[in-house]
Amino acid sequence: MASDIITGISSSSQLKRKMHIKGSIVKTNKAGAIVDIGVEKPALLHVSQIIIESGQPSLRVEDYLKIGQEIDLFIRNIQDDRIEVTMKEPLLLEWREIKTNMVVKGKVTKLEKFGAFVDIGAERPGLIHVSELTQGYVRDASEIVSVGEEIEAMVIEFNRRKKQIKLSMKALQPGLDEIEGVKITPARPDRRSKKGKNKKEIPSENNEAPEENEPTVMEIALREAMGKADSNQPAEESRSKKPKSVSIEQADILARTLKHRA
């Protein structure tokens, strides 16, 4: 994070965390140094917050800092009784400052087929999965963004323990149902037709065909007798192929019975 050095500070009430200032070494010891930053009380620079040219922490304060030396500092913490400073450039976005649904800006640093890594000023870069780049299907992240491109995204999930930050560009884009104020309601299946489709059809009583009465044994015998009467076949042949014929008296009885039933 490159920030301009703030000058003209004369009161501790003007100080803010991460503010970039200059200070002058007043005293050094094993624990660190006392620094004059131009306000009513000096600031404390702990040994763990001293950075030498190689970028590594200092082990012996007196080897690197001298009384009267002017150094670049950042405000690390402000309390009622003291001001803490650091030579380490602070993160633009610390873990305690990251919130779900917050909008951040960053620069694409790396592309993979599954997504893009974005430097948002946090301890770790955020990841925009390929499915969170834009509305619709995306095969490769390079179709949407490129390395070095500055983008804006929303934090949709983060895990400090795993050092993971998940971002979404799609979350900041209007949905397909919001374009030009048009609200698209997905079609719903007709429940009545669905129920009727699965329901077995039961024929109505009014549509049922009239049930025919089965012929009785006597009716069958009568029909056979009448058929024989009209037949020109010899009696012997008829007796060999069909049941015994009934007498005229029996036929007459059967005829009266059928007439009575009709």
32-41 residue pLDDT tens? 999 999 999 9
Q: Which helix (H) or strand (E) holds 44?
A: strand 43-46
At residue 44, the pLDDT reads 96
Distance CA(76)–CA(87), nearest Å, equals: 9
Distance CA(65)–CA(214), nearest Å, equals: 121
* Burial tier of 254 (Cβ tally within 10 Å: 0-12, 13-18, 19+): buried
At residue 227, the pLDDT reads 64
Q: Phi and psi of 180, rounded to 5°?
A: 55, 30
CB count in 10 Å sphere of residue 72: 13
Per-residue pLDDT tens over the stretch 120-144? 999 999 999 999 999 999 999 999 9
CB count in 10 Å sphere of residue 231: 12
Helix (H, G, I), strand (E, B) or coil at 132: helix
